[in-house]
Every structure is written in structure tokens, then in C-alpha cells.
A and B are shown apart, each in its own frame.
Chain A
């Protein structure tokens, strides 16, 4: 007798992706639990942990947001290797306004978010026509270039950076400023990508000629997407500037480009929730491994490689599949 695994969709999942039929409290819980549980869990974690681990959770939220920003660009076919550009631009805008004009962080963070998004689009407009690896190379080079410009011209504090910036008023304000945008971004981006506008964005990554053939201007859409992604990245930079009370050349470091991508790969691409999941695995893991010392990076890299090979679809897609379908063994008909 041979058995085979059969996968069956649970009753609540209907043919259309945006219509759910909820008939009982049980189904209501089934539907809401995966959405509310992470929020509650993270909230509880923030409340019970000490200051050190709180900082780790904040750091992870920053990488999650950067990951979401990367995922949005990737949905549009723009594979960016330079999230550090958005991060650094935001950090320097908010840092400079605070340092030179003494503006409060509550003003400079929103300002840096908006300006950073616009600036990112302005810098990337000339390369919108590039596709695939060519676009990636340009985005990889830009943050490195910014770093050297600041080093060579010694503007904005040069190699020393700008120190003694204002901190955020209180630690609960700090937590609110990062965690509320985290969930708001997740919700809005997931809505956006499922809307008709989002379909056009995904279509651009699929076949841009065909999108032009519908009379749609590619550059307009790419610019809008880069503004959104750039604003998210710039917000992260501006926020971290005031957390560290310092802005300097490290904000253009490769970490801010690569770690978000690793988060999305581990968590699962294309749905934004994967970025959060991935970031909350990788960042705390990196902290836990800190005790090991020199071999930390090696272990970290091995974990990443094993993970990508074992679960290439990403954790989110895996969990989603397990949650929305049940499996059972059935006899194979001879």
C-alpha cells in the first residue's frame, strides 16, 4: 500500500484573493490570528525585555523597514543593492537640520522622510532605463560614492561626522516612532501591491514593453515607487540618527544594503511580511552569536546558506502554505 500526501485548501480560502467569507467566530479567529499575533507578540516582547534587547528589537525593525523598501522596488523589477543610499541620505538630512539649525527630531524625521524620498527619485531618474544587473550596479555604487564625497570634501562633518545631536524625548516615544510606522507600512504596502496600481507595478517587472503598450509611462510609475521606497529608507536613517545622536560615514555602509536583502530572502519575497519575519530572525540571531567571538560571521553565513538552500521560498510562504492548507496521507489508487 503506497501513500501519498494530499493538500486541501481550508474552507475559508475562496477563489478570489481579496474576498473572505467569515461565518463563525472560529473562522474569525482563524482569519485574524496570523495578522494580530505578530503585533501583540512584538508589543509584549518590547514590554518585557531590558534596554539592551529593546535596542536589538528596534534595530530589527529598522532592517525590516529597509527590507520592505527593497521588496517594493523588487516588485517593480528594480533590484537595488543600495538601500544604504536611502538610509544615509535620510540620516544626513535629519542630522544636518538638527545640527545646523537645532530643529527638533520630531520635525527633522518627517522632513527627512519626504526630502529623502524625493532626492532618491531625483538621483535614480537617469538610470530608470537600466534593467536588471545594470540598475543594481548603479545602486551599489551610489552609496559608496556619497561616502567618498563626504570624505573628500569634508562637508557635513567630513570623516568625523556630526555629533551631539538631540535624542528623542523619551524612550517610549522612540519605540512608538519606529513600531507604529513598521505596522502601518506593512499594512499599506500589502494593500498597495494587491490594488490595481500594484498590479501595474508587478507587471512592469514582468514585461515592461507590454506595460508601455497599454499607454502607461514607465518612468512615472518607477519614480513613484522609488519615492515611496526612498521615503521608507530615509525615515529609517533619520530615526537611527537620533537614536545614536550621531551621523557619520558609516550610514552608507554595505550592511544597510545587504542585511535588508538577506531578511527578505529568509522571510520570503514579494509580500512585505517576509521582510519583518526575516529581520526578526537575523538581527537577534546576530546578537546571540556575539558571544562566540571571531567565528560569529562564519556561523551566521553558514546559517544563511543552509536556510536559502533548505527553504528557498522563504519562511512566510512556507508558513502561509501550511496555514491555509492541510495535508493528509491518502492511498494511491492502483
Chain B
């Protein structure tokens, strides 16, 4: 069966006033695949996410999602198509309680289109979604204002806000950074559940150990260029990757 990939990125380039953040990056994501993106700091990982979702316009190249050319689309339109993302720096609504944070994605035009009409009592749905990502109902964390929540909960909230949009592709930008090992261990099953539901995932990550355990494929970026793509094991043995990570030619 010949099938087109869910997301196909071709020769994507982005230049920030002389800094080449991305240079001719091409890759694709199949339906239901979990692709990891790794690379040293400043290698263009977040720029890649921003250009795919439309927060940043690329200089060259094209992004095709589900047979639609979405290059240069406005972010809200891209997200309505079914790509959801989380931010590396969490962006909750600090003044609102956690469950009210969920109202915003629940009020999205995407869900109205998907489910038709009104979506019932959004507060209850919001609480259910938060429980799924580990806001324990008994301790009433979901009612706390987001500004008082610890980082672990904010990351979960960020994940829940993306999940609730019922995306076909979800891009997680360094979801594990700043979390303890125990917290990471409690989030991994949520991601695996998403994967079993057939949702394609792009994970940008610095926690290589956790990533390699769940990723189907890993892509390595360095100075905006893709230097490797393949199974986790082969990628890490590649010379260029070692050079990028260790700085010198490893023996």
C-alpha cells in the first residue's frame, strides 16, 4: 500500500537575520509514528516546531500535512487542521484556575467542527481531561489557580491542553525538561496511550534515555541541519552525531 506520510517537510529553511536556524531540513512523519528530535542547544529544534505550526514563517521549503500544503499558514488554521503542540516554556493562563485553562482549547473551533454543536458541560469535561494527565481529583489541584501550581503540574496542563484538541499529530517541545525522574515516569504512560490511540507524535527532547525507550525513529539536528535520521541505536553511533554532542571527533 503506497501511502503518503501524515506530515512531510521538504527543504525547510529559516534565517533569522543572518543566523541560519534551519537549513534544508527534510523529514516525514507517518500516521501513528513517534519521532524523536534531538540536538544540542540552539540547533533549531524549537524553530522547526514553530515553522511547522505557523508561529514562524519559513524562508524556503514546504510543509505538507495530510496532502495539504500548509506552508506559511496562520497558526490557528494549522491547529484547526489537527496539529497540536506544547510550548517548551509552559504557557498556561496564570490568572485562571487549572480547569478553566482547559476551557480555552475546549472552546476551539476545531472541536466544534469535530463534534458538532455544543460540547456539553465544558467544566466537567475539563476536570475529566485533567484527571487523565494526573490532576488527582481528591486533592482539588484542578481548582487551584495556575500561578500557584508547581512546574510538574504546569507541564501536565500543557500536555492536556494539546491532547484535548483531539489532534492527529501532536508536537511535544521538551515536555520532560525540568521534571524529576518520578514525574517523567508518570507522564510516559500518557504518551504511550496517545500512541496506541494512533496519534502521531514528534517529541523534542534532551532526556535521551526516556526518549529512546519510546521513540520509533530519531532525528538529529545540529546548527539547523539534519545530520542523522533513523533508529535510535544507529543514530547515536553515527560519527557526526558524536561530533555534535561531544564537540570533537570521538575515537
List the interface of chain A (C-beta within 8 A of B): 15, 196-197, 199-200, 202-203, 205-207, 209-218
Contacts and interface: CB of A to CB of B under 8 A. Distances in A.
B245 interface: no
A15 B127 CA distance: 14
22 contacts: A196-B103, A196-B106, A199-B103, A200-B103, A200-B104, A200-B107, A202-B96, A206-B94, A206-B96, A207-B92, A207-B93, A210-B161, A212-B76, A212-B79, A213-B85, A213-B91, A214-B79, A214-B108, A214-B165, A215-B105, A215-B110, A216-B108
Contact of A199 (B77, B87, B100): B100
Contacts of B75: 212-213
Interface of B: 55, 74-77, 79-80, 84-85, 87, 91-96, 100-101, 103-110, 122, 143, 161-162, 165
A210 B93 CA distance: 8
A199 B110 CA distance: 17
B105 A206 contact: no
A213 B109 contact: no
B154 to A, nearest CB: 12
Contact of B91 (A15, A197, A199, A207): A207
Given A199-B100, A213-B87, A206 B80 contact: no
Given A210-B92, A215-B109, A199 B104 contact: yes
A215 B93 contact: no
A291 B162 CA distance: 62
A123 to B, nearest CB: 23
Contacts, number: 79
Name the residue in B101, B143, B162 with the highest tally of chain A Cβ atoms < 10 Å from its Cβ: B101
Contacts of A197: 107
Contacts of A218: 76
Contacts of B95: 202, 205-206
B122 A213 contact: no
Given A215-B110, A215-B165, A216-B76, 10 more contacts: A196-B106, A199-B107, A202-B95, A203-B93, A206-B94, A212-B79, A213-B91, A215-B76, A215-B105, A217-B74
A210 B85 CA distance: 10
A214 B122 contact: no
B108 to A, nearest CB: 4
A213 B49 CA distance: 12
A12 B95 CA distance: 24
